[in-house]
Structure 1
Amino acid sequence: MEFGDSRSILDKVMRHSPDMICAIDRQGSFVYVSDACRNILGYNMQELQGASCYSFIHPDDYNATVQVGKSLVYTNSTTYFRNRYRHKNGEWVPVAWSVNWSAEEQTFFCIARIPSESEVLSRQVQEKEEVHNALVEHGVDMLALFNTEGDFVYSGGSTLRKLGYEPEQLIGRNAFEFIHPHDTPKLKEAMRTALSTEEQVKVSDFRFKSATGEWKWLETTLRNQLYNASINAVVSSSRDITDRKNRLQRIRQSEQRFRSLFEYNPDIILIEDRDSTILDINPAGLLFFGADRESIVNNKLSAILPKEIAPVCMHYLQEAFTNKSVAFHLTLPVKEGDHKDIFVTKVPIIVDDEIIGVFAIVRDVTDVTQSQQELKKLSLVASGTDNGVVITGANGQIEWVNESFTRTTGYTLPEVVGKKPGSFMQGPETDPAAVQRISEKLEEGVHFNTVLINYKKSGEKLWLSIDITPIYNDEGQITQFIAIQKDITFRKEVEASQQQMAQDLYRHNRDLQQFTYIVSHNLRAPVANVLGLATLLPKLDRNSTVYDKALASLTASVWQMDTVLKDVNTILTTRDSKGNYVQEQVNILYVVQQATSALQDLLHISGADVKLTIPEDYTVEGNNAYLNSIFYNLLSNALKYRSPDRNLEVTIKCFGSPQRGTIISFTDNGLGFNMEKHGSNLFKLYKRFHTGIADGRGLGLFMVKTQIEAMGGRIEVSSQVNVGTRFMIYLT
């Protein structure tokens, strides 16, 4: 056979080919279509040429087809794909495409054909396999194949997601290695059963170790497929039920807790339906009613209650069925002339938004009611007494106080209920040792009395004599404490006043002894001299030397008497002014500087160095004149009794706080003195310890101590011979 030129041959191929051959430009328009388009799509060439190829594509295949065209432009390769085209009769026709992009022509060259039946079937099988694989991979079941020994020969499904194992971690290993020892016998028995039958074998609730070491709860189905040559294994489909198992476990635990609460609750618990039929009752209820379970359960509550009480219980039952919790008191006759006080709570039982019953919780409060009545009687008695009465629980927390307690302390009952008395009544002067003794006695549970400083609500100090008595129940346990508080503040103030008077009397007696000493010693001698010389002078010649000497001696004795009388006046003035002197805020640094200035010449001549450590603005409540005199006397003594071997150094320090008071330290490096020998006489009148060293009458330190005590303070001293002396002054 002879053929014409190649172009005529190509025309014949395109005209007689069963495949549709076409050219499509870059915009997707047909520029050429062979005659086969009529057989494949029902359109002739003229109907397709110039039309957009995308307008015939099934909507579900549109995006994928467009993506194929874009990728071909960049890869310049041939590709094969399938989509669906709309036939001229309106049906969707599957079309298999072979497409190549020509960059030079900017054209897609395509061959399209209808897939054969075998290709369609093959494609359907492939799609089903893909669906199957997707179900296996993304489904909830874990799939496995085992040989007769239980070794893994295949692992798939959700095994990786649920247990964390890759297939290669399991294939070849025995499944029983991963099963909990307690569950192994059950699984082995199921495997033996599966090997002996073609029926499905189901195993529930067993534990399988995950890749993390955690035990997972599984259920599985085994089916023997050893006879199936294409499988030849035991097929297992397992599901993770850990969450379900845990939920069931929590439900069981909750049921057990409820059952324990129901069975062992000391209160009576009944479960009633809408017409008051008792569905269940706990042992405490059976004991209370003195009946067995059979005689109560499935009977109406009204059958075991007195007639006058049953309607009340029914009323509250119906109210509880309106989805409200209700509570009420009842007095229940139990014997002739006897009764029980009960407190009833009814709570609706709701399941799936429906009230299926009511819990009736009954508590015997007879003892509580009786205690309240007794307490009420006691309160009537306590209300009539002038003493404060406090009733606390065994834990020490206040349950009740009477009006006298409020009048005495200022605290009302609502302010103190639930509090311990010590938490709000104790203060700075409350004796910790007394508080400790109270705690010990309360622990011992015995009656006792104590005296204690407490504080009113206003902050005023209050002395109380407290009698505390424990209250015991029938079992010998302390249930309450009753404290009766008597205000003895006036008595304590009188005692303090008497003590102060005794101290003042002692001090006056001591001063009287001092004055007796002055009269008998310091004053008697000059008086005797005056009397003797007064008798002698008239007898002497006024122009004689003896007369002049006697007159001079008389004058000296009179001056000596005057000095002693001035000392007595100063002492008496200071003593009598205690508590009556003018109190003022005195700047310590200022008065020390005043005293130092008055002795400046002597300090300079002696080469003394006075060091002050006193805050500039530090003040103390006292008397300016007294403090000036105190520092003047101490500085004068330091100068008089300085050491000849070294320059005098005096250090004055002041420190303290409003809480601690003021402390003043006065230290010198003078001669010092023997504390054991002279310490007891240091502050006595006319006592001197360095005779022959300096002039002095032994009055300065006596006055220092007297003035400090007049301001409510005290003074202490420590000294060492040839080292120095330190005075410590304490002012409030």
Structure 2
Amino acid sequence: MSGLGLYFNEESFNRLFPFYFQLSPDFRILNFGKSLAKVCPDLEKENLFTDFFEIVRPHIKTISLEEIIKNSDQHILLKYSKTELLLRGQFEQTGDSLLFVGSPWFTSMSEVIDRKLTFEDFAHNDALLDLLHVLNNAENTSKELKELLLTINTQKNQLKKDKEELNRLSYVASANKNGVVFTKLDGSIFWCNDAFLALTGYSKSEIIGRTPIELGRTMDTDKEEIKKMIDSFYAGKSFEVELLHARKNSTPFWSRVKAQPITDSQGNAMQYFAMLEDISLKKRYDESLEIEKEKYRGIIANMNLGLLEVDLNDKILMANQSFLDMSGYAIEEMVGHKASGLFLTQESKKILQSKDRLRSEGISDSYEMNVKDKNNEDKTWLISGAPNYDVQGNLIGSIGIHLDITDQKEQEQQLYLLSLIAEKNINAVIICDPSGNIEWANTSFLKMSGYTENEILGKKPGKLLQGADSNNETVTYMSEQIAKGLPFNCELVNYSKNKEKYWVRIQGQALYDKNGVIIKFFAIEEDITAWKVLEEQKENLISDLAKTNKELEDYAQIVSHDLKSPLRSINSLISWIKEENEKDFDEQTMKYFSLIEHKVEKMDHLIEGILTYSKIDKEVSKGENVNTNDIVKGIIDMIHVPEHIKVTINNPLPIIKADRFRIQQLFQNLIGNAVNYIDKESGLVEIACEEFSSHYVFSVADNGVGMAKEIHSKIFETFKAYTTSKHSTGLGLSIVKKIVLFYKGEIWLDSEEGKGTTFFVKLKK
């Protein structure tokens, strides 16, 4: 490789070896790579190497410069003491300093994710990426590539001073079993190793001066991969592609091509080098592996048992559909999370710790576990757990097969409770065989039915107890449920031995053995005769009350109509008298007529208020979406607001579920009251609302006359008016409170004489 010039700056060195560090002769850290800084966050320049790192392999009794140089021809395994991270690589002496070039030793992609590393944190040629994608031969290839790049980078800094380093790089590239080529910026090859010749079948003279595209393209080569190569090449970027590569003898092979620009001190590309690897065997292996994986993936996905895979840190890697159905979670809600944090109770976590110890020893077993599903419901799972290994035989986690046995456990508990009920219960209890014949009954049943034990054994309960008034639909329902082996719950008329009729509430259920076969039926009968009598009386009272309320409502309608009719006549007569005798009446008489008109108007308002008050909780609520902001604005436009009074809405009011008419009545009374009782030259009414998690609190505030504290609790009483205002009927606030109570809300006020009043209304969302 005489005359070849390779140039590296710190940026390109970092791209090639992002996990390097450089040591001074006294083992102080002089510099380290950008990605090493991410996985070793406590590392700083001038730190002592031995304070942070331990040489795990090979074993070195005393760490010294001589010992490390002596082992520089082999891989070194380091452990970062702060996080137990393992680094593997090689030391090389560069002048007075030592250079370590390597990469982390990860066994799963989750470790990369946990340390917040991305693809850009690794050199594009780093074999660790291939290892994480389960490529069997990636480790050897990555090792050779790193050695090659390490040699290239070392020679970049010392090429002008040390010709021996250049020869070393040439030797490594030449000896590499993968094909290596160097190209100019126009893409023409100016050097290749023997492995490249062997892979392609060309001679060196047939290769030099031609481009890799010319030599490698076939009719079946993926055009997108070729375009990716060309675009990256002319952009001065590294790239990695897998494509079908040509041979001279026209027999193509699958190849992986990794390429990297060689830059000058300004970062400009000067040359390109590429490595060509034959991956035909790997491709065939991957295809076979994918077929097998797809086959087992289908089996796992469709199996009735829940399958869960976790790593050594209990983080979920995979779950099948049955497990998702059992747990209630979606797959994206579980992957990457700790299983113990999602499902286990504190007691179960202790059990899991003992199981983790068994897995670490390679032991499989089965056990029951109390868990919580996504809905926080208690479940019992039967779990068969086994250790999980990678292709190298290293323990990487565990796999569990899960069966939900909640129903079975509940049934066991029910059987235990039933045994207590049968023994202690004051209600009647009977147990029947699978054919429905009575095998046992408690004392309460015998007392309730009037039969003796000998008279009931071997008989069917229906034939003994049912009669003319026993509802046929209920009897059919019980028979169908029993035939299906399902629980039943109903009320039925039974007859005692002496033909006395009594009501019972019956609860029954089938009992199963471990194979799901019905072995018994049991039923509990509660005598509800007295309750039925009371229920019938209650229904009669409700019916009578409904009839009375309807009559009162009709009466209120009639009375309001009959009272309003003469009031309208009186009002018309007064108007006619005033019009016909306007010049004959003196001022005092006209005042009397005005007073009569006001009283008539007040009487009309009072009648309307009584009618409204009586109908508030009688009408069916529509339950529509009501925009209270629009309701309040409409009221402000509708009512008479004197010019000296300003009515404002302080913040947007919400949309609530209610009846529009009732809400309008509520706010119209509150806002109308506020306007009517302002005695200031500059009046102000402010409407606002505050939202809480389950309710809203509306407020209507004024700067009017206010009220004394001793009447605060009385103002909502019907027909109670604590003002001399001509507008007061004593019903406005009573109507407001009745509407609020209709919606199960609350109303209260804050008021002070001379300063004003604020009413608060709390309504549920």
| TM-score relative to the length of structure 1 | 0.29
| TM-score relative to the length of structure 2 | 0.28
